[in-house]
Amino acid sequence: MKQPGPTGKRKQDHLDLCLDGQAAAFRGRGNGLADYDFVHDALPELDLEAIDLSTDFLGHHLRLPLIISSMTGGGNDSARLNRTLARCANEIGCAIAVGSQRAMLEDPDLAHSFRIREHAPDVPVFGNLGAVQLNAGYGIDECLRAVEEIEADGLFIHLNSLQEALQPEGDTDFSGLVDKLASLTADLPFPVLLKTCGNGWSTRSVRKLTGLPLAAIEASGAGGTSWARVESRRQEDAQHEALFGDFGESTADSILAVRQGLPDLPLIASGGIADGVDVARALALGADLAGLARPLLQVADRGEDELLRRLEGIGRELQIACFYTGTASVNELDQGVLRPRRGDGNQDPGRA
The DSSP code for 3 is: P
All structural domains of the chain: 6-34+59-313 (3.20.20.70)
List the alpha helices (DSSP H) in 245-303: 251-261, 276-285, 294-300
Tens digits of residue pLDDT in 274-328: 999 999 999 999 999 999 999 999 999 999 999 999 999 999 999 999 999 999 9
Q: What is the reported pLDDT for 16? A: 65
Q: What is the reported pLDDT for 349? A: 36
Q: Tell me the C-alpha to C-alpha distance, in Å, between residue 35 and each of 30, 91, 225.
A: 9, 33, 19
Q: What is the reported pLDDT for 169? A: 86
The DSSP code for 33 is: G
Q: What is the reported pLDDT for 322? A: 99
Q: What is the reported pLDDT for 309? A: 98
3-state secondary structure 108-176: HHHHHHCCCHHHCCCCCEEEEEEHHHHHCCCCHHHHHHHHHCCCCCEEEEEECHHHHHHCCCCCCCCCC
Q: What is the reported pLDDT for 18? A: 63
Asked if residue 185 lies in contact with residue 212, where contact means CB atoms within 8 angstroms, the answer is yes
Q: What is the dihedral of CA 6, 96, 85, 30, to 10 degrees?
A: 80
Position 94, amino acid = C
10-residue stretch averages of pLDDT, the chain, 352 residues long: 60 64 77 97 99 99 96 77 97 97 94 96 98 98 98 98 91 97 97 96 98 97 88 85 91 98 98 97 99 94 96 99 99 98 55 32
Q: What is the distance between the alpha carbons of residues 249 and 247, in angstroms, rounded to a whole number?
A: 7
**Beta-strand pair 66-68/60-62:** unpaired
Q: Check residue 232 and give left, alpha or beta (phi > 0: left; psi -120 to 50: alpha).
A: alpha
Q: What is the reported pLDDT for 235? A: 80
The continuous run of DSSP H or E covering 91 comes out as helix 78-92
Strand partners, 239: none
Q: What is the reported pLDDT for 11? A: 62
Contacts of 259 (CB under 8 A, 6+ apart): 267, 285, 286
Q: What is the reported pLDDT for 351? A: 31
Q: What is the reported pLDDT for 26? A: 84
Q: What is the distance between the alpha carbons of residues 41 and 39, in angstroms, rounded to a whole number?
A: 7
Position 231, amino acid = E
Q: What is the distance between the alpha carbons of residues 230 and 23, in angstroms, rounded to a whole number?
A: 8
Tens digits of residue pLDDT in 217-233: 999 999 988 878 888 88
Q: What is the reported pLDDT for 347? A: 47
